[in-house]
């Protein structure tokens, strides 16, 4: 057990206990995000090799890189990692249009970025955790930018198709 995970008089972890709990929470949120769910459960068979699928797979893999770093941090500190479960609510996305899914992924990734910033503030005195969280925040910004740009691009293409149909 490292110096940052000392037992108090009750046998409970103190000090970094809160930090580890917050990091564990963000591991679950990222590992069981809508982006990860969509990557694993992609229901749009005819769109298997499309650009949308490739963007999603690439961003999900990028997110898993950050998750791995957080897990390694917890592991170095002797914490078992719970990866959590996907929200039952995500099953509803199996029956929606891909465009709607993307809009929800953007919202979800935006919320995740905000949560990463909150966790970073909560563990600000933990240099190792802050370093890893800064890397995760950079990954998350990249993911959010990419999926947001895709949604804007998709809307533009949809508007163009609708305009062409009217003519």
The pLDDT tens digits of the residues spanning 81-117 come to: 999 999 999 988 877 888 888 899 999 999 999 999 9
Domains and CATH numbers, the chain: 16-166 (1.20.1260.10)
CB 95 within 8 Å of CB 122: no
CB 84 within 8 Å of CB 31: yes
CB 99 within 8 Å of CB 43: no
The pLDDT tens digits of the residues spanning 29-79 come to: 999 999 999 998 876 656 655 878 888 999 999 999 999 999 999 999 999
Q: How far is CA 78 from CA 6, 29, 87, 126, in A?
A: 11, 20, 27, 16
d(C-alpha 140, C-alpha 35), whole Å:
11
pTM above 0.85, yes or no: no
d(C-alpha 34, C-alpha 29), whole Å:
9
d(C-alpha 29, C-alpha 116), whole Å:
10
pLDDT of 13: 41
């Amino acid at each position: 057990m490292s110096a940052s995970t000392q037992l108090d008089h009750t046998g409970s972890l103190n000090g970094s206990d809160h930090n580890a709990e917050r990091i564990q929470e963000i591991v679950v949120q990222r590992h069981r995000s809508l982006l990860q769910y969509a990557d694993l459960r992609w229901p749009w068979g005819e769109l298997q090799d499309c650009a949308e699928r490739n963007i999603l797979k690439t961003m999900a893999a990028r997110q898993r890189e950050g998750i791995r770093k957080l897990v390694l941090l917890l592991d170095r500190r002797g914490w078992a990692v719970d990866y959590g479960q996907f929200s039952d609510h995500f099953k509803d996305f199996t029956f929606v249009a891909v465009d709607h899914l993307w809009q929800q992924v953007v919202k979800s990734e935006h919320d995740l970025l905000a949560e990463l910033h909150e966790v970073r503030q909560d563990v600000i005195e933990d240099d190792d955790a802050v370093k890893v969280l800064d890397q995760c925040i950079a990954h998350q910004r990249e993911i959010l930018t990419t999926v947001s740009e895709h949604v804007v691009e998709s809307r533009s293409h949809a508007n163009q198709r609708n305009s062409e149909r009217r003519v």
